[in-house]
Amino acid sequence: MEKEIATLSRTKQILEKYSFSFKKSLGQNFIVEPNILHRMIERAGVTEETGVIEIGPGIGALTEQLAKNAKKVIAFEVDGRLLPILEENLAPYSNIEIIYQDVLKANLHEIIEKKLNNCREVMVVANLPYYITTPIIMKLLENRLPLKAIVVMLQKEVAERMTAKPSTKDYGSLSIAVQYYTEAKTVMSVPKTVFIPQPNVDSSVIRLDLRPEPLIHVKNEAFFFQVVKASFAQRRKTLLNNLLNNLPNGKANKNIIEECLTSAGIDGKRRGESLTIEEFALLSDRLYEIFK
Ligand code: SAM
């Protein structure tokens, strides 16, 4: 029996056979430690009833492990040079389909509806290309896809920002967006030594369980996120100053913004990073009445 693709010896053999050269610009760092992938799939809870979307299969290290555990795997790969490699090495598995497309341009609703409709649940499980971690996660969340969970490997620093609590240095608009749509937790630490080529940063695996409804109800979602972004625009400035400087026509509406803060019971001298998601909701609902 052939060794798993994720072993160092098999990976080296494949890379040599195809004279593959890594593209740093595509975030190509491949895992060469099967146990990391076994643990990741176990933390995801993938079963033979699960349909999985993978983003960036590379030479198929994680794809192979997913195929052994899941009902069906749909993987998006942007680098066409990987096509012959994936075709050859994943040939033993009949439940994998690779789509050679930029995942950011893909219609994931359609893919789930057409190709994973016979699965009991759908999850995203991936070792993400790190240069587009946040756009990928935001696309998965904002598109309101019918996903049970997103279990992904990403830079440790980004995982810390996604799971951060108020009044910590990592807390920001990304923490709020992730919390709004999901329950997030870090489920594994991954040292940089298990990749080739070795990246400069350590990694984590994060598990995002999608909420059936957002954590809080707001009058206008787009405006809520606008208020959140404005509040964090300059972290060392007070909440009031950030709102004045970063909301459209903020300065012209100074009195109104001050009134909204007072009626929401929030001191404008606080920093944005001290507000809970519930406080942001209250504030944005008050401001929305004026700014809409
Ligand atoms: N899954 C493999 C592993 O764990 O060893 C490789 C992961 S590597 C960190 C990221 C992969 O994402 C690469 O294969 C890269 O070509 C691919 N990729 C980069 N940008 C992409 C995009 N926009 N859409 C789909 N795949 C992309």
In a domain, 232, yes or no: yes
Confidence of residue 35 (pLDDT cuts 50, 70, 90): very high
Choose one of 210, 233, 250: the last residue of a domain.
Answer: 210
Asked whether residue 188 falls in the same domain as residue 122, the answer is: yes
pLDDT digits 0-9 by tens, 129-166: 999 999 999 999 999 999 999 999 999 999 999 999 99
Average pLDDT for residues 196-215, to the nearest whole number? 97
Torsion sign, CA atoms 259, 260, 261, 266: positive
pLDDT value of position 132: 97
pLDDT digits 0-9 by tens, 78-122: 999 999 999 999 999 999 999 999 999 999 999 999 999 999 999
Q: How far apart are CA 219 and CA 285, in angstroms?
A: 6
Residue type (1 letter), 242: N
CA 83 to ligand 1 centroid distance, Å: 13
Q: What percentage of the chain has pLDDT greater than the value 90?
A: 96
Average pLDDT for residues 60-74, to the nearest whole number? 98
Asked whether residue 261 falls in the same domain as residue 285, the answer is: yes
| Best residue for ligand 1 mutational test, from 39, 76, 77, 136 (most atoms within 8 Å of Cβ) | 77
Asked whether residue 14 falls in the same domain as residue 101, the answer is: yes
What is the domain count for the chain?
Answer: 2
Joined tokens for residue 9 = 């010896």
Asked whether residue 259 falls in the same domain as residue 199, the answer is: no
Residue type (1 letter), 201: V
pLDDT digits 0-9 by tens, 212-258: 999 999 999 999 999 999 999 999 999 999 999 999 888 888 999 99
CA 275 to ligand 1 centroid distance, Å: 36
| Element holding 228 (H helix, E strand) | helix 221-231
Q: What is the DSSP string of 147-177?
A: -SEEEEEEEHHHHHHHTPPTTSTT-SHHHHH
pLDDT value of position 291: 79
Residues 6+ apart with CB under 8 A from 249: 291
Asked whether residue 192 falls in the same domain as residue 238, the answer is: no
Asked whether residue 108 falls in the same domain as residue 37, the answer is: yes
Residue 250: CB atoms within 10 Å:
19
Whether residue 170 has pLDDT greater than 90 = yes
Asked whether residue 24 falls in the same domain as residue 107, the answer is: yes
Beta strands (DSSP E) in the chain are 30-31, 50-55, 72-76, 96-99, 121-127, 149-155, 182-190, 195-196, 203-210
**Residue closest by Cα to atom 18 of ligand 1:** 56
Q: How far apart are CA 181 and CA 37, in angstroms?
A: 26
DSSP-based three-state secondary structure for 133: helix
Whether residue 1 has pLDDT greater than 80 = no
Instruction: Give me Rg for the CA atoms of the chain.
Output: 22
Asked whether residue 189 falls in the same domain as residue 60, the answer is: yes
Nearest to 226 by CA among 208, 242, 237: 242
- pLDDT averaged over the chain? 97
Q: How far apart are CA 189 and CA 216, in angstroms?
A: 30
| Prediction ipTM score | 0.99
Q: What percentage of the chain has pLDDT greater than the value 70?
A: 100
In a domain, 119, yes or no: yes
Whether residue 194 has pLDDT greater than 90 = yes
Asked whether residue 25 falls in the same domain as residue 149, the answer is: yes
pLDDT value of position 292: 75
Asked whether residue 170 falls in the same domain as residue 284, the answer is: no
Choose one of 175, 210, 245: the last residue of a domain.
Answer: 210
Residue 93: CB atoms within 10 Å:
14
Asked whether residue 206 falls in the same domain as residue 228, the answer is: no
Q: How far apart are CA 200 and CA 112, in angstroms?
A: 35
CA 227 to ligand 1 centroid distance, Å: 33
Asked whether residue 75 falls in the same domain as residue 194, the answer is: yes
pLDDT value of position 249: 87
The answer to whether 119 and 49 are in contact (CB under 8 A) is yes
Q: Are strands 195-196 and 96-99 parallel, antiparallel or unpaired?
A: unpaired
**Cα–Cα distances in angstroms (integers) from residue 212 to residues 141, 142, 144, 146, in the given order:** 12, 13, 10, 9
Pocket around ligand 1 at a 6 A CB cut-off: 26-31, 55-58, 61-62, 76-79, 102-104, 127, 129, 132
User: Which of the 8 DSSP states describes residue 211?
Assistant: P
Whether omega before 197 lies within 30 degrees of 0, making that bond cis, reads: yes
Q: Which domain holds residue 268?
A: 221-291
User: Which of the 8 DSSP states describes residue 20?
Assistant: -
